[in-house]
Amino acid sequence: MMNAAFPQVRIVPLRMLKPETAERLLNMLTGIAGIRRMVVHGPGLPKTVPYGPARGSPNPHSDRRVIQVGDAQVALRVQVGEIILEVENPSVIDEIRTLCDGFFVGFPYQLQEGRFMKSAPTLVDYAKYGPDADQTLIGLTDPRSKECPVIIRPQR
């Protein structure tokens, strides 16, 4: 069972981030020691049009591309609207706030503290990963996704 005492923060920029901006921010965040888990959240960018008269036809979108975060290639399937982080201790939050204050100079952002990720295994976690699931994946499962989440190891 995962320890639910880890603090969580959510970085919410005033606008959606372009892939280049998100890549720069995520690479800066991976350089901070003490971040346990990270989720990029926002509206989906489907490969095909999901409904309407053009249903099933290709959905070209310039924001759906592959970015390099640390050592991992990340295929953006969402427009980056917020970044949720779970950290090891509250002192890391001050470091994240300082980084964001320097990064978001052209437009405002909010840094919210609270509970944004599940910290206990859900039924979907059990169904998708089994009883011996990797604890870093708990609560991050998308039941409809056929792709595995990207694991980014911290840069040390």
The total domain count for the chain is 1
Q: For the chain, give the percent of residues with pLDDT over 70.
A: 91
The pLDDT value given to residue 124: 78
Does residue 152 form part of some domain?
no
Checking if the pLDDT of 2 tops 50, the result is no
Q: What tens digit of pLDDT does each residue of 85-127 get? A: 999 999 999 999 999 999 999 999 999 999 988 777 778 777 7
- The CA distance from 82 to 24, in Å, is 14
For residue 10, give both structure tokens: 């959510």
- Structure-token pair, residue 21: 């901006």
Q: What average pLDDT does the segment 20-29 reach? A: 95
CA-based nearest residue to 22, from 46, 41, 7? 41
Residue 61 scores a pLDDT above 70: yes
In a domain, 140, yes or no: no
Question: What is the sign of the dihedral through the CA atoms of 140, 141, 145 and 151?
Answer: positive
Concatenate the DSSP letters of all residues of 91-104 into one string.
Answer: HHHHHHHHHHHHH-
Q: Is residue 127 part of a domain?
A: no
Residue 67 in any domain: the answer is: yes
Query: At 155, is the pLDDT very low, low, confident or very high (cuts 50, 70, 90)?
Result: low
- Whether 58 is in a domain gets the answer yes
The whole-number pLDDT of residue 145 equals 72
Here the CATH number for the domain that contains residue 42 is 3.30.70
Q: Is residue 132 part of a domain?
A: no
How high is the mean pLDDT of the chain?
86
pLDDT band of residue 153 (cuts 50, 70, 90) is low
Per-residue pLDDT, 110: 96
Residue 122: CB atoms within 10 Å: 13
Is 75 a member of any domain? yes
In tens, the pLDDT along 63-92 reads 999 999 988 888 898 999 999 999 999 999
The answer to whether residue 49 sits within a structural domain is yes
What is the rounded average pLDDT of the residues 21-30?
A: 95
Domain hosting residue 22, numbered range: 8-117
Q: Residues with Cβ < 8 Å from 11, sequence gap 6 or more?
A: 25, 82, 83, 84, 85, 96, 100, 109, 110, 111
**Low-confidence winner among 50-54, 111-115, 135-139 (lowest mean pLDDT):** 135-139
